[in-house]
Structure 1
């Protein structure tokens, strides 16, 4: 069974491309290169979704549904995948229900380090409660701990091997991510005010953008959401991630693969990724500590900077590339399939 080409559904609920979608794209294309048959299932069809255009060049089909659980059940009955792999709380919940009704093995990946608030927190709790009906992967140890024994493996986010590059470096100090409270872009803006002789660039959009732009110093530039971030890394000297909460952000992996060191807060699995003063830098979340770390980076000589860059690339190649992670995901798939064939699955949703 280990050599069998698998037929797989990757199930997501999505309107745009963010961290989860990028992970799904990387996983789907990596599996397709290994001769597995992968379809992306959008629970709700949103016209002109960028994931459709992105995947068309890799010949990965996209199945667009109307948001009802029965649509997914019918798609599974029609296409008969060997298993489904769900990503994100809504896809996880609906996917487990559909998998149980069709007796299809279900793998769920838990991505979000933030539990959220209000209705989102309720959905997150339901996602965790229903995790007993799937085989689960967490992208960080902190997320795995929430599953209370229902986690088969902690596997990090990863990037395509061809994205590991030795691109020349620019001079930008960058923030890449959503402009909302949990990502803490306000701290990045405060940092820019302390280094008016350097260029600071924000790649991303969100609810805080207008307020941040209104009070931005003259050396701070906002680019909004960009679809070609891979082409921007060569312009960036350093990535700053002042997040209040994280799992394992793909932006950090992409930066390091492109020889861009990261200064990050000690949250989620960032301390596992970043070896302080070796392949990047960690700080305690305060502006003074962040200022000190940036000043340290700007003052060290180019030889030492290149050693940090080279170590960053080595870290990604060894532990966070598709060649390092996808074989482990495939092993989980085959274990789930073997368990299902033996009749040992735990699905019991009526």
Structure 2
């Protein structure tokens, strides 16, 4: 098959870019996969001929809408050159609407994947809701990365949904001595609730806490943080951070999937996550971690999982859980979706 992927892609950062990077690598074992992404970027050398871009203004609101219309025009041009079999867009909103407009002009089948914040944020905006509903109704197939998201897209008009969770890339453990750090990994934005992590650090002054990530809340968080919290900024070496961690804490108020839970589990690190969205789909209560609703439940969960015996047991189960989420399996499931829309 000759496939066109549309969405954020390296060197862009973030969950969608990481998902797309891993999926594309796996699919390229058997197919020719092109990518259309937001420019300006400098594609990696090994795929320079396969990555295409649309230059858009770096202004929130204008950026996405510009990509929808300019991107659809670019897809038509690329289709004339490469003769794609289908379009697969990632992130429901302006990005998926790019595929809707292109489908109208090319007749190509359209697959749309919902990742999380697209439905939690974009669908609540007046114009964004139009993009979301139109994309879900016009797509030939809709994929979500969790069952929680599947219910969301069904409520927004999708008629049939396939749940295909994210895979976990293989992380190499780094020998960093004793695992004693309590870790937060993620964007420093409101929906990730990093302030909850800072409050947690105040309850455990004898423990080391690490915040790996950046965002608009960083300056405020640093001012309010106790001395046992260290801010690392954005880091690409998640394995070295998790290799020194005793526990991962994910206090997000919403998560379309929560991949960092499985990344932690893959290195034997149990996780504590808020009991919302898709997080309970990944944290099997009392096995690879614990979930919480209230702050006091969080404190108690952390106390429990810091006990050496509980920590070792949950970490061991976590490795087994993470091993069931492979990108090879994800790619095979996605291929089945492709074949269903090409029939």
**What's the TM-score once normalised by structure 2's chain length?**
0.86
1:211-222 equivalence runs, <5 A: 211-222=220-231
In the TM superposition, what is the alpha-carbon distance from 1:57 to its structure 2 partner?
5.3
Q: Hey, what's the Cα distance between the residues in 2 that align with 1:58 and 1:277? A: 43
Unaligned runs of 5+ in 2: 56-66
Counterpart check, 1:40 vs 2:35: yes
Partner of 2:3: 8
Partner of 1:259: 268
Partner of 2:337: 332
Q: Is the 8 A contact 2:246 2:311 kept in 1?
A: no
Counterpart check, 1:295 vs 2:299: no
Q: Hey, what's the Cα distance between the residues in 2 that align with 1:249 and 1:143? A: 12
Counterpart check, 1:104 vs 2:108: yes
In the TM superposition, what is the alpha-carbon distance from 1:300 to its structure 2 partner?
4.0
Q: Is the 8 A contact 1:31 1:326 kept in 2?
A: yes
Select 2:317's aligned residue among 296, 311, 315.
311
* Cα deviations by residue, 1:105-159 (Å, 9 ceiling, x for unpaired): 1111000145227985641452133312111101122221222243330111112
Select 1:77's aligned residue among 66, 75, 80.
80
Classify the secondary structure of the residue corresponding to 1:246.
coil
In the TM superposition, what is the alpha-carbon distance from 1:272 to its structure 2 partner?
1.5
* Cα deviations by residue, 1:274-305 (Å, 9 ceiling, x for unpaired): 11111111111x2211111111112242xx42
Q: Hey, what's the Cα distance between the residues in 2 that align with 1:62 and 1:19? A: 18
Q: Check 1:207–1:270 CA distance in 2 against 1; reply closer, same or farther (3 A cut).
A: same
Classify the secondary structure of the residue corresponding to 2:256.
coil
Partner of 1:136: 142
Q: Hey, what's the Cα distance between the residues in 2 that align with 1:167 and 1:179? A: 28
* Cα deviations by residue, 1:150-186 (Å, 9 ceiling, x for unpaired): 33301111123x3386977632211111111111000
Counterpart check, 1:65 vs 2:73: no
Q: Is the 8 A contact 1:13 1:90 kept in 2?
A: no
1:113-192 equivalence runs, <5 A: 113=117, 115-116=120-121, 120=125, 122-134=127-139, 135-148=141-154, 149-160=158-169, 162-163=170-171, 170-192=179-201
Q: What is the number of equivalent residue pairs in this alignment?
A: 321
- Please tell me the root mean square deviation across aligned C-alpha atoms, in Å: 2.3
Q: Hey, what's the Cα distance between the residues in 1 that align with 2:123 and 2:163? A: 27
Q: Is the 8 A contact 2:40 2:54 kept in 1?
A: no
Q: Check 1:45–1:174 CA distance in 2 against 1; reply closer, same or farther (3 A cut).
A: same
Q: Hey, what's the Cα distance between the residues in 1 that align with 2:175 and 2:341? A: 40
Q: Hey, what's the Cα distance between the residues in 2 that align with 1:234 and 1:306? A: 14
**What's the TM-score once normalised by structure 1's chain length?**
0.85
Unaligned runs of 5+ in 1: 1-5, 339-350
Q: Hey, what's the Cα distance between the residues in 2 that align with 1:112 and 1:167? A: 34
Q: Is the 8 A contact 2:6 2:36 kept in 1?
A: yes
Q: Check 1:281–1:164 CA distance in 2 against 1; reply closer, same or farther (3 A cut).
A: farther
